[in-house]
Amino acid sequence: NAGVMQNPRHLVRRRGQEARLRCSPMKGHSHVYWYRQLPEEGLKFMVYLQKENIIDESGMPKERFSAEFPKEGPSILRIQQVVRGDSAAYFCASSAENTIYFGEGSWLTVV
């Protein structure tokens, strides 16, 4: 049973470009979470999705960030017009019952 799969693992973008991060949950999991880890900090919740629905986006920045989890395919976290402050590790997690499993993360560097 494959774990939570994220890609790309590393992404470099110039300021103003768009970044798209993908996450495939564990087989059988229908709940996806995105977290952001700034350098030398803990993880901060961004958004919680189920298939085709955003359940909780209380941690998402109001502008430039969006997330989706379509009926088919991976969940996508999209960051438009990236700025240097977006440089971070972005972790996806999925869950069934009451345990969350994390992917290995996508490290975004904005230059």
Partner 1 sequence: GNSVTQMEGPVTLSEEAFLTINCTYTATGYPSLFWYVQYPGEGLQLLLKATKADDKGSNKGFEATYRKETTSFHLEKGSVQVSDSAVYFCALSDGAAGNKLTFGGGTRVLVKP
Binding site for partner 1 (CB under 8 A): 6, 31, 33, 35, 41-45, 48, 55-56, 91, 93, 95, 98-105
Residue 35 or 65: the one with the smaller Cβ distance to partner 1 is 35
- The full DSSP string for 9-21 is SEEEE-TT--EEE
* Beta-strand pair 10-13/106-110: parallel
Residue 14 or 53: the one with the smaller Cβ distance to partner 1 is 53
Residue 79 or 93: the one with the smaller Cβ distance to partner 1 is 93
Tokens of 109: 């560097």
- Shortest reach from residue 31's CB to partner 1, in Å: 5
- Shortest reach from residue 104's CB to partner 1, in Å: 4
- Shortest reach from residue 106's CB to partner 1, in Å: 10
The CA-based angle 45-91-63, given to 5 degrees, is 55
The CA-based angle 52-55-61, given to 5 degrees, is 105
